[in-house]
Amino acid sequence: MIKRLCGLLLSVAARRWPARLRDEMLTEWRAELHATPGTLRRWRYAASLATSRPHRQPALVAAPGRNPAHAVLSFLLIAGLPAAYLPFAVSWTSAYSVDTIAWQTWAAAASIVAAVVLGLGCARLTTGVTQLIRPTFVPLWTIGIALAVLLVWPLAEGRLPDRATVIDLSCWALSAVVLCTLAARVALSGRAVLSWAVVVVAGAVAFWFANMHNHLSHFSALGMEYFFDGRFLTAYVFVVAVQPLLHVNVFLLVYTHHLVRRHRPAEKAVPSQPATA
């Protein structure tokens, strides 16, 4: 029974390794397991392999064709996901009623969490981008593409972006790039928690810049008394939370920063030395 279970754990562990090494490693582990004395030691041997971080290094090493593909995928994600999300979000954030306010609140909260998860997931998918773009330039890459898409978006609808929108979005992008670059430098110096704190500040500052000329900058709870008893702060928090640009902002900043944090320098060849022994 234990032998079969150990064999199963080794098979599970082998599936997480690169395909070219899988059979070889499984053969080696089985041989070692066979030579290992004691049920407990065998169990620990197999369990450790099955539960530990698999061999992933090749995914981070520069490979011909792989990094341009990551860059293209990154571009599509940055340009596509926010652009796809904005029209979808407008349909559930443009009108409130007593029947919808409760689920809209939950949808807003869930959407922010989803933006964080999506940002982390997309960064894992496109890690190789930092082999082409220096980590400190990643904010310029991500926010720059997003800014271009947001400015071009009205043209696709047959109208020009208004002056206030151009100013707000430009200030949003500038502040996000500057603060995310700062966060990247902090992260590269090894201070992970502080770097995420800078990202949180970047999110708040950039979002404030993005709304300098719209109703959030001179918000009144007038009309919201049906929903929140006229309480200004609650109504304001709700209106902020259902802003589509907030969710796009969260996605982009989390994506950018996690991409920087996942950067590993490509391994470079070093000349070997003559053997002395």
Partner 1 sequence: MIAEIRLTVPVVRVLAALVADPAGDHYGMTLMQAAGLPSGTLYPILARLTEAGWLEKRWEEIDPAAAGRPARAYYRLTPAALPTARQRLAELHEQTRTAPPHAVATEVTA
Closest CB to partner 1 among 26 and 180?
A: 26
* Using rule CB under 8 A, residue 1 touches partner 1: no
Between residues 222 and 275, which has the closer beta carbon with respect to partner 1?
A: 275
Residue 28 interacts with partner 1 (CB under 8 A)? yes
Q: Binding string, 168-207, against partner 1, x = CB under 8 A?
A: ----------------------x-----------------
Per DSSP, which regions of 144-201 are E strands? none
Do 143 and 257 contact (CB within 8 A), yes or no?
Answer: no
Rounded CA gap, 248 and 244, in Å? 6
Is 25 a residue that touches partner 1 (CB under 8 A)? yes
Question: Binding to partner 1 by residue 13, rule CB under 8 A?
Answer: yes
CB contact at 8 A, 150 and 84: no
How many angstroms separate the CA atoms of 180 and 254, rounded?
10
Least spacing, CB of residue 228 vs partner 1, in Å: 50
Q: Does 110 bind partner 1 (CB under 8 A)?
A: no
Supply 237's token pair: 């928090």
Nearest to 77 by CA among 263, 241, 258: 258
Please say whether the beta carbons of 150 and 170 come within 8 A: no
Nearest CB to partner 1, comparing residues 16 and 213: 16
Question: Closest Cα to residue 215, out of 239, 244, 241?
Answer: 239
Among 6, 29, 81, 206, binds partner 1 (CB under 8 A): 29
When the beta carbons of 35 and 156 are compared against partner 1, the nearer one is 35
Answer yes or no whether residue 215 interacts with partner 1 by CB under 8 A: no
Interface with partner 1 by CB under 8 A: which range of 23-31, 95-103, 133-141, 246-254? 23-31
From CA 169, how far away is CA 144, in angstroms rounded?
11
Residue 27 binds partner 1, judged by CB under 8 A: yes
35: its two tokens: 């030579």
- C-alpha torsion 180→197→241→228, nearest 10: -150
Per CB under 8 A, the segment of 48-56, 103-111, 180-188, 223-231 that binds partner 1 is 48-56
Contact between 112 and partner 1 by CB under 8 A: the answer reads no
Residue 172 neighbours by CB under 8 Å, 6+ apart: 147, 206, 207, 209, 210, 245, 249
Can residue 262 be called a binding residue for partner 1 (CB under 8 A)? no
Q: Hey, which residues between 51 and 80 contact partner 1 (CB under 8 A)?
A: 51-58
Q: Is 271 a binder of partner 1 (CB under 8 A)?
A: yes
Name the phi and psi angles at 270, rounded to 5: -120, 145
Cα–Cα distance for residue pair 46/42, rounded to 1 Å: 6
Under the rule (CB under 8 A), what is the footprint of partner 1? 13, 17, 21, 25, 27-32, 34-36, 44-46, 48-58, 190, 267-277
